[in-house]
Amino acid sequence: MITFDTSPDRYQHWRLTFDGPIATLAMDVREDAGLSTDYKLKLNSYDLGVDIELADAVQRIRFEHPEVHAVIVTSLKERVFCAGANIMMLRGSSHGAKVNFCKFTNETRLAIEDASAHSGVKFLAALNGICAGGGYELALACDEIVLVDDGNSAVSLPEAPLLGVLPGTGGLTRVVDKRRVRRDLADCFSTLVEGIKGKRAVEWGLVDRVCPTSQFKDAVQKRARELAASSDRPQGGPGIALTALNPAVTADAIRYSLVSVAFNRDKRTADLTVQVPSDPVPATPEALVALGDRFWPLRAFRELDDALLRLRVNEPEIGTIVIRTEGDIEAVLAVDRFLAAHESHWLAREIVHFMKRTLKRLDLTARTFFAFIEPGSAFGGSLFELALAADRSYMLHDDDETNTIALSEMNGRVRADNARAEAGGPLLMSNGLTRLETRFLGDAKKVQQALEHDGPFNAHEAEAAGLVTAAPDEIDWDDEVRLAVEARAAFSPDAMTGLEANLRFAGPETMETKIFGRLTAWQNWIFQRPNAVGEKGALKAYGEQGRPEFDWKRT
């Protein structure tokens, strides 16, 4: 079983050090400390375990070190920055493991970009040596790239020519869409095993600058301080500690303090429940900092995030997940008001962005989610996003109409003074829209009406406003929701993955959705193709005697 909890004192592959506003995140992968003993992580190549530490480091810099304004991403190995994902690991992985590995590493790189865009933490890739494949894709996620000019060190994306697969961690997308490398040069670059170095790497836009070995460290330090100067983060701490989640894991459940996942293995479903305690909100931002990760929404979303990751990698057969909430809906709305009132405070900001990333993780989890909204539930504001993220939501239309949902500023904000209602909000999906905007695509009025509704919605009102999929009454409820889950669980898992990946992302595409839509979908196709994974495919042939044998038919 793979777990995602780690901390700097337990890192095996990274060294995280601090020097005032500059943190240095240095890769130093331990060859023999991979998640499996089937491969050696040579030349700073990585597996999921290495990336789990990277994701943790980025997270902790945001929460535990508000004084950090720039991060240098580099390597402690001589002449090697990073050789990319470990090929022997990929070779030996199941299809599902490959797909989930790429999904997580993509989310980690997007989290780096999220920290830069929204938290005032800039990232400088200091490439002190060869930088291949996933190594270059990590650099691409940084704001700037400096490459040592030692006559040898190059950046490269050798996956296609060498292994018959794509650079699967956003490389192709970021080269043309983020760094805006001309598409024909990108084509040359991505088919050149040895990559591009020196001045040409700058001319093509693959890196921002090159620097002779003798000046490299100074130049990196200097540039990192310049990047740090633009930050709007606090000048000093304190941060808050992210303590270990330590869920109780049994054969049939994962139980955290506020989140639980109970498996119905014979039905291939799970019940995911989020508890809302009636804790009072902190009186001030200072009290929030003092509360730290005990503040329940942070705790609940951290647990939810961890639960989603475990579901993905450890529970592939659980295809349908029913989401419920329990507790005080007013407590959720009070938290949302508090977070909105203090949105300029660094910690409130971090918490909201963390909620956003967790909800994106849910959008990108290839499982069916149904939300069941029953009396005693707490689907308000930020927690109602769970219902909006779900493929369907069922709300019990109870006779006495005490079953309610509610919206808050977390679901979106309408600037009513404009002639044309402009929405937007803090919990954006990766398509750049709120979940309400995506739901009512092209019908801004419905978004506005929902957000301007006074007070909670009972089931009748929620259905009329289009906020829930169906609102069966007490007589129909049990049969209707049971049949919906049973029917879903009987469909082809692959068809459901494809269906959901298309229906969830209505509206505009962004670089982020392109990475998961276009790039990942093609990569997953290639990961199924005999030319890559067959006995004579390129991925299998790599490192063995002989060359791959291809079926030459183009598709």
Q: Rounded to the nearest whole angstrom, what is the least distance from the CB of residue 21 to a second copy in the complex? A: 30
For a second copy, the closer of residues 50 and 186 by Cβ is 186
For a second copy, the closer of residues 341 and 487 by Cβ is 487
**Sites for a second copy among residues 492-521 (CB under 8 A):** 492-509, 513-514, 517-519, 521
The residues with which 126 forms a beta bridge, in sequence order, are 146
For a second copy, the closer of residues 56 and 315 by Cβ is 315
Concatenated DSSP letters for 258-305? SEEEEEEGGGTEEEEEEEE--PPPPSSHHHHHHHGGGSHHHHHHHHHH
**Sites for a second copy among residues 93-122 (CB under 8 A):** 95-96, 99-100
- Select the span of 208-216, 282-290, 294-302, 433-441 touching a second copy (CB under 8 A): 433-441
**Sites for a second copy among residues 281-310 (CB under 8 A):** none
- The C-alpha atoms of residue 272 and residue 304 are separated, in whole angstroms, by 9
Residue choice 280, 344, 442, 543 for contact with a second copy (CB under 8 A) = 442
- The C-alpha atoms of residue 171 and residue 191 are separated, in whole angstroms, by 13
Residue 380 DSSP one-character state: B
Yes or no: say if 519 and 105 are a contact pair by the CB < 8 Å rule: no
Yes or no: say if 62 and 350 are a contact pair by the CB < 8 Å rule: yes
- The C-alpha atoms of residue 447 and residue 8 are separated, in whole angstroms, by 43
- The C-alpha atoms of residue 282 and residue 265 are separated, in whole angstroms, by 40
- Select the span of 127-135, 181-189, 348-356, 405-413 touching a second copy (CB under 8 A): 181-189
Residue of 58, 232, 218 lying closest to 138 (CA atoms): 58
Residue choice 10, 30, 182, 199 for contact with a second copy (CB under 8 A) = 182
**Sites for a second copy among residues 362-391 (CB under 8 A):** 366-367, 390-391
Residue of 136, 130, 10, 26 lying closest to 72 (CA atoms): 26
Length reported for the chain = 555
Q: Rounded to the nearest whole angstrom, what is the least distance from the CB of residue 286 to a second copy in the complex? A: 41
For a second copy, the closer of residues 120 and 319 by Cβ is 319
What tokens were used for 505? 């992302």
Q: Rounded to the nearest whole angstrom, what is the least distance from the CB of residue 534 to a second copy in the complex? A: 11
Q: Rounded to the nearest whole angstrom, what is the least distance from the CB of residue 190 to a second copy in the complex? A: 6
SS3 412: coil
**Sites for a second copy among residues 123-162 (CB under 8 A):** 159-161
Q: Rounded to the nearest whole angstrom, what is the least distance from the CB of residue 377 to a second copy in the complex? A: 18
- For residue 238, is the peptide bond before it cis, meaning its omega torsion is within 30 degrees of 0? yes
Q: Rounded to the nearest whole angstrom, what is the least distance from the CB of residue 246 to a second copy in the complex? A: 26
Residue choice 177, 279, 374, 398 for contact with a second copy (CB under 8 A) = 177
- Is residue 536 at the binding interface for a second copy, with CB under 8 A as the rule? no
- The C-alpha atoms of residue 397 and residue 400 are separated, in whole angstroms, by 9
